[in-house]
Structure 1
Amino acid sequence: MGSIWEIDFYSRPILDANQKKVWEVLVCESPGDISTQPDSLFRYAQYCSSTQVNSGWLRTALQEAIDKAGEAPIKIRFFRRQMSNMITKACQDVGIPAQPSRRILVLNQWLKQRMEEVYPQEEGYQGGTNPSVRLESPLPQRLPDALEGKQWAFVSLQAADFAEMPEWEIGFGEAFPLELADLSPETRIPGVLIFSPRALPIAGWMSGLELAFLKFDTKQQGRLVLETGATESWILANIKNPQILAEAEGFEKAKQNANGVHFIGVQSDPQTESFAGFWLLQEINIA
């Protein structure tokens, strides 16, 4: 399987000689695996004049990134919906599918690092925020009947347990090195396991969704919601049982204590040791 890239193309808090915002493209590689060394991931950055902002310039920059990397990725993730048309067109022009996604953990950290350490050193830097356009998100969707699990459970593992993840039997899935989240080996990482005789079809469907994170939404009558893509969300369960509600609240608290890190697994039954699907996730505040 080839690599996956993450991309951002947007204005930065820097003004050029004509007092126009400087734009920048950032491209980085998604880790994909628990054992990936973050320092080994490919990165590419290039500033762009506001007068050159178009899909043609971005296509040229992407081709340069591909040339430097030595190979093209199998897809490119992006999170800014207002840049969707331009990014999608540029990616199509270099023959790579673009996917709206909030699974941009490396890119998000890189953006924050550049906001703190790089842009303030540039001539023309303008302090303060550089807000993105906020767009309304649709309401959570109900899961298709064929994809609902027969049962599910809240569980947890220690961060140290994930060192063995490369040895687990997993059909579909994705992970990232826990050092990106700065967790101690003793940190409890919460998760949800879904059990179903149709485990493989469910895991296959989930693998195409660009999984972002799970959340327990108390504002919506105790819903367990799976966030996917750039804005989509799915209702995994409506929780009313007091005991399960307490477990859901514990899941959210443990997730916060683990810097947003959690997981979702799909298995055929509670006795099996293999996973039809397993994803390590992190809820992040996107820059």
Structure 2
Amino acid sequence: MGSIWELDFYSRPILDENQKKVWEVVICESPLDIRTQTDSLFRYAQYCPSTQVNSGWLRTALQEAIDKAGEAPIKVRFFRRQMNNMITKACQDLGIPAQPSRRTLLLNQWLQQRMEEVYPQEPGYQGGTNPSVRLDSPLPQRLPDALEGQQWGFVSLSAAELAEMPEWDIGFGEAFPLEMAQLSPETRIPGVLIFSPRALPLAGWMSGLELAFLRVDDSAGTRLILETGATESWILANIKNPKILAETQGFAEAKQTANGVHFIGIQSSPQAESFAGFWLLQEMNLP
């Protein structure tokens, strides 16, 4: 399998000599395995004058990044929806699929680091926030009937137990190194297991959704919501049973304690020793 890249192309809190915002493309390789050493992953950054912000400039920068990396990625993830057309066009011109996604964990961390350590050192730096455009998200959708699990439940594993994930039998899945979340081996990581006789089709469907995170929604009764892509969300469960409501609150609290880290797994039955799908997830604020 080839690499997946995470990309952001947006203005930064820096003004040029004409008092115009300086733009920047930032690219990093996605960590796909819990054993990944993030220091070894490819990174690329280049400033762009405000007068050259277009898909052509971005395409040229992407080609330069590919040349430096030695190979093109199999996919580019980006979280900034208002840049969808420009990023998609630049990637398509190079024959690379572009995917709106909130699974840009390393990119988010790197941008935060640059906000704190890099941009303040640049001439023309303007302190304060660098707000992005907030777009409304659609309402959560129901899971397709054929893909609903027959059973599900809350579980938890320690960070040390999750570190053994590469040894498990997993059909579809993705992870990231827990060092990114600064968790101790004893930290309890909450998760949800879904059991279905159609476990493999369900896992295959989920693998194409750019899984972002699970969240508890209390806006219309209590629901467990799966967030995917840049804006999509799916109702995994409507929760009314008092015992399950208490477990749901426990899941939300444990997720917060674990710096947003949690997981979702899919098995054919509670007795199964393999996973049709298993994803390590983290909810974090986008820049």
- Please give the range of the TM-score, normalised by the shorter of the 2 chains: over 0.9
Per the alignment, residue 48 of structure 1 pairs with 48
Residue 140 of structure 2 is aligned to residue 112 of structure 1: no
Per the alignment, residue 39 of structure 1 pairs with 39
Matches within 5 A, 1:100-249: 100-249=100-249
Distance of 1:72 and 1:220 partners within structure 2: 44
Distance of 2:44 and 2:110 partners within structure 1: 11
Q: List per-residue Cα deviations over 1:221-247 (Å, max 9, x = no partner).
A: 000000000000000000000000000
- In the TM superposition, residue 163 of structure 1 has moved relative to its aligned partner by 1.8
Q: List per-residue Cα deviations over 1:4-47 (Å, max 9, x = no partner).
A: 00000000000000100000000000000000001011000000
The letter for the 2-side match of 1:228 is: T
The letter for the 1-side match of 2:222 is: G
The RMSD of aligned alpha carbons is 0.4
Any unmatched runs of 5+ in structure 2? none
Distance of 1:272 and 1:141 partners within structure 2: 29
Distance of 1:133 and 1:160 partners within structure 2: 39
Q: How many residues align?
A: 287
Distance of 2:163 and 2:113 partners within structure 1: 27
The letter for the 1-side match of 2:25 is: V
Per the alignment, residue 259 of structure 2 pairs with 259
Per the alignment, residue 76 of structure 1 pairs with 76
The letter for the 1-side match of 2:259 is: N
- Does the residue aligned with 1:138 lie in a helix, a strand or coil? coil
In the superposition, the TM-score normalised over structure 1's length comes to 1.00
- In the TM superposition, residue 162 of structure 1 has moved relative to its aligned partner by 1.5
Distance of 2:178 and 2:152 partners within structure 1: 25
- In the TM superposition, residue 220 of structure 1 has moved relative to its aligned partner by 2.3
Per the alignment, residue 95 of structure 2 pairs with 95
- Does the residue aligned with 1:209 lie in a helix, a strand or coil? coil
- Does the residue aligned with 1:200 lie in a helix, a strand or coil? helix
Distance of 1:162 and 1:213 partners within structure 2: 17
Per the alignment, residue 271 of structure 1 pairs with 271
- Does the residue aligned with 2:237 lie in a helix, a strand or coil? strand
In the superposition, the TM-score normalised over structure 2's length comes to 1.00
- Does the residue aligned with 1:216 lie in a helix, a strand or coil? strand
The letter for the 2-side match of 1:282 is: Q
Per the alignment, residue 19 of structure 2 pairs with 19
Distance of 2:35 and 2:234 partners within structure 1: 29
Q: List per-residue Cα deviations over 1:92-112 (Å, max 9, x = no partner).
A: 011100000000000000000
Q: List per-residue Cα deviations over 1:147-198 (Å, max 9, x = no partner).
A: 0000000000000012211110000000000000000000000000000000
Per the alignment, residue 282 of structure 1 pairs with 282
Worse overlay, 157-166 or 235-244: 157-166
Q: List per-residue Cα deviations over 1:110-150 (Å, max 9, x = no partner).
A: 00000000000000000000000000000000010000000
Distance of 2:53 and 2:160 partners within structure 1: 45
Which stretches of structure 1, 4 residues or more, deviate above 6 A after TM superposition? Answer: none
